[in-house]
Chain A
């Protein structure tokens, strides 16, 4: 490749469109996509990455430090921490998906209603949203879990509900902007039904920033679910949930740092990666 490039001088000076596009992609973004892809693969086909059962320990191999055999070390029951992280990604990702789904669907619906219906409906919805925003999200999700009961799905729903307000606000602002454009009015003027115009013109043109926000929310949902798992509101042991793993490892923090640090680092990497990806999505939408 390099030899060819040197001989064909013209191609270096006038790179093709694809090469130019590639040059503009930042390495951080590539790494972020890679991290997201790996975690998704973990969640979909964990058995390809580890053979062992993440819930059954080997009693002879308790609390071993990271090594070639156990990259992330083992825990107090002799379970491989990396295996548990790999199998745990499913709970975190599915949980985050459900959470974002709840927030996206309910938030967008509320936002669209507020943005299109009468002033009174708008006022009522947006004041409710203000109240939701005023309550700290951890407190809100804890109260919802006490209402719904413990468990992975309930935790996800609780986390999703805390993000409804944000989705509703953003969607409403977009819808209000798009609704007053000439093309939406033209669609009404050419005989479009209210719902048809909403579906064909208003929604597609206002969803750009909302999509970027859901990618962003995905990261923070993982973090929130892990937080609730850490506090003991999520899946019961021995589920390999990331937050729960950090919580269980706390008891050994003085002697076995890897039990808390490495799962925690994975959470941080995934959250940062989704954040980076969502920023690039947002920029493309704007550009």
Chain B
């Protein structure tokens, strides 16, 4: 640092925010204080509902209509902006404070070119026009590492990948060299390797321009790797506020300890190989699966799944890992019989699922069940939990009404839910509770194989850790075989015994989790593993 002033870029003092709902105020943020110096990255960590996004929105004056700042000050370079009106805030938005939003897909105007989207912030705040504007836009695109920026500037948002769109948004946030960038979960919609690139880019900008960054995230691992200071929020209150190193090595509150323990990337290796796994019978075998899709009217075809084979011993967990577009979800859908492969076999207990049709396929579904990623979409909103869990039994005409109810009650207890949820409907439950109901539904038929399609990705870390522990318990007690599809390598390392790494429809590496993660052979596997946030190897 040169001899510039050392007063903090952003100072939040005693901020309290409440939301008005049905004439009643709910406190969302309660007496929060922190400050960020030039060139610092402060991470605001918390689970959904902790108020972290509310804090970020208050700083830039973008609270929803029913939100209200009750008390406190927000000082930007020493000036309180918390009471400013919309018009006055417009003078600092974009110019002094840049915002990188969470969802790159929804944050660019789809009917305007990338250049026009990016040029807008310059048009609003500066007098730059015409060829000079175009030159600056191209320069900005080049700065955030977009190759061939002149061509990209003429393209539309849908022609760019998610990672590239996020870079464009970062470019628009830094266009006017603001003092502060607010990044609200900027990488949670992105693949791990892309996430790493974006985080590196933010780090570079911070070092180069001395920009302060307020980084909002649910992922303690990312916070630990990148930030200088961490504020842990829970229910709108500060739980812990200290330098990152201190929070990691010596968390003071119980909640911070729970978060640290539950963050899969920080927890390290847990799942021990089951005894004599190699001796056990193979429960699920996929044999040279191929799935092609026709491209347009031409004879071209796209091989979404290209010669994928794996075998899962009974009672173990096999993981399919890969980034979006790697064919892992398509493979999982073939395994559960929702998609007929172009060629190849799926054997569960010696029966080839891929060749069955009609009633035979319906009967075979008893042996394999799927748990979906989104617990908000996979349960019928009009049915009670009891009806949802007993429905598979009704479908196969198993037991009478009373025995089905008893079984549903047992399972609800097994997945650690209170019996009172049986009469409720899905919308009355939290995300984690819903996912437990979905797991209970999958288990009620006593299947041999359960397929989890990103089944814990939508959950908060502590809930995720609970569900993962539950899955391990169920596997041990019931001898279940899992196929676990995920993009999250830290979770996979935690739960899977064997793993297949997929890329562009092909398996590039496979083997026991320990050896694949410990001594990766393929270059792509190494890239993936390097992209896991690792606080111990941080570069300061």
Contact = CB atoms under 8 A, between A and B. Distances in A.
B369 A190 contact: yes
Interface string B411-450: 0000000000000000000000000001001100100000
Contact of B395 (A183, A190, A204): A190
A188 B392 CA distance: 9
A67 interface: no
Contacts of A15: 23
A185 B441 contact: no
A196 interface: yes
Interface stretch (B63-71, B190-198, B374-382): B374-382
Interface string B372-397: 10100111111100000001100110
Interface in A1-32: 14-15, 20
Contact of B365 (A181, A190, A204): A190
B480 to A, nearest CB: 16
Nearest to A201: B380
B365 to A, nearest CB: 5
B99 to A, nearest CB: 31
Contacts of B22: 20
B338, B365, B380 — most chain A CB neighbours (10 Å): B380
A196 B377 contact: no
Interface in A173-193: 181-193
B336 interface: yes
A228 B438 CA distance: 54
B369 A205 contact: no
Contacts of B445: 190-191
B338 A189 contact: yes
Contacts of A20: 22-23
Contacts of B374: 182
B395 A193 contact: yes
Given A189-B336, A190-B445, A183 B379 contact: yes
Given A20-B22, A20-B23, A196-B395, A189 B381 contact: no
B362 interface: yes
B362 A191 contact: yes
Interface string B356-374: 0000001101100110101
B533 to A, nearest CB: 30
Nearest to B362: A191
Interface residues of A, number: 21
Contacts of B392: 190-191
A64 B370 CA distance: 76
A165 to B, nearest CB: 27
A20 B22 CA distance: 9
Nearest to B382: A204
Contacts of B372: 182, 186
Q: Which DSSP category, helix, strand, loop or mixed, fits chain B's interface?
A: loop
A201 B379 CA distance: 10
A61 B535 CA distance: 98
B330 to A, nearest CB: 14
Interface in A82-98: none
B336 to A, nearest CB: 6
A196 B372 CA distance: 21
Interface residues of B, number: 29
Nearest to A192: B395
A114 B272 CA distance: 52
A185 to B, nearest CB: 7
Nearest to A185: B338
A192 B393 CA distance: 10
A186 B441 contact: yes
B23 A191 contact: no
Nearest to A184: B380
A187 B441 CA distance: 10
A189 B379 contact: no
Nearest to B426: A183
Nearest to A202: B380
Contacts of A183: 377-381
B370 A193 contact: no
Contacts of A184: 380
A205 B381 contact: yes
A189 B380 contact: no
Contacts of B441: 186, 190
B442 to A, nearest CB: 8
B457 to A, nearest CB: 14
Nearest to B23: A20
A268 B180 CA distance: 61
A192 B392 CA distance: 7
Contacts of A188: 338
Contacts of B379: 183, 186
Nearest to A190: B392
A187 B23 CA distance: 40
A187 B382 contact: no
Contacts of A181: 377
Contact of A186 (B337, B366, B370): B370
A187 B442 CA distance: 10
Nearest to A181: B377
Contacts of A185: 338
A204 B362 CA distance: 23
B23 A189 contact: no
B449 to A, nearest CB: 12
A200 B381 CA distance: 12
Contacts of A14: 23-24
A182 to B, nearest CB: 4
B332 to A, nearest CB: 12
Contacts of B438: 186
Contact of B380 (A187, A191, A196): A187
Contacts of A205: 380-382
B340 to A, nearest CB: 14
A200 B369 CA distance: 20
A182 B382 contact: no
B334 to A, nearest CB: 13
A183, A189, A196, A201 — most chain B CB neighbours (10 Å): A189
Nearest to B444: A190
A15 B23 CA distance: 9
Interface string B1-38: 00000000000000000000011100000000000000
B512 to A, nearest CB: 30
Interface in B177-197: none
Contact of B391 (A182, A190, A204): A190
A7 to B, nearest CB: 21
A215 B254 CA distance: 56
A191 B378 contact: no
A190 B383 CA distance: 15
A189 B377 contact: no
3 closest A-B pairs by CB: A190-B392, A191-B395, A182-B378
Interface of B: 22-24, 336-338, 362-363, 365-366, 369-370, 372, 374, 377-383, 391-392, 395-396, 438, 441-442, 445
23 contacts: A14-B23, A14-B24, A182-B374, A182-B377, A183-B378, A186-B370, A186-B379, A187-B391, A189-B336, A189-B338, A189-B369, A189-B370, A190-B369, A190-B392, A190-B441, A190-B442, A190-B445, A191-B363, A191-B366, A191-B392, A191-B395, A192-B391, A193-B395
Given A191-B363, A205-B382, 16 more contacts: A14-B23, A181-B377, A182-B372, A182-B374, A185-B338, A186-B372, A186-B379, A187-B380, A189-B365, A190-B395, A191-B362, A191-B366, A191-B392, A191-B396, A193-B362, A196-B395
